[in-house]
Amino acid sequence: MTISARSGTHESDGDRSRMTVQTAKPLQGNVDLFEASLRSPEPLWELHGALRGLLARGADREALIQELARFKDDLASAGRDEDWEIIYEVLTFFEGWCLPHLKL
């Protein structure tokens, strides 16, 4: 069996039938969620809750950390210092530099 994420199809070696396969959304898809959280009245707590929800639904913890770190770098490049600080603080929640009930 061959699965192609690019074409969104798979071929079965037995009957060579083709069908559409739903592929996983790339991690970059969470950037919209991060941006929406940053625009909320309480961005730190909004993002914390959103991340807690993603983790509860089975998101990979290390992948989220990597995605947040890339997003933080993008914010720094764009000169968005206040947003950078919020992402930095959220990343400390993953490391445990927070009250125990805030750890992600």
**Kind and range of the H or E run holding 4:** strand 2-4
Q: How far is CA 72 from CA 2, 41, 66, 80, in A?
A: 37, 19, 10, 9
* 20-24, 31-35, 70-74, 91-95: segment of lowest average pLDDT: 20-24
Residue 34 lies in a domain: yes
Q: What is the pTM of this model?
A: 0.68
Residue 19: per-residue pLDDT? 36
Residue 55 lies in a domain: yes
Helix (H, G, I), strand (E, B) or coil at 54: helix
The number of distinct structural domains making up the chain is 1
Q: How far is CA 26 from CA 18, 54, 88, in A?
A: 23, 14, 22
Residue 16 lies in a domain: no
Structure tokens at 68: 């947040």
pLDDT digits (tens, 9 = 90+) for 45-76: 999 999 999 999 999 999 999 999 999 999 99
Residue-number span of the structural domain to which 50 is assigned? 25-102
Residue 95: per-residue pLDDT? 86
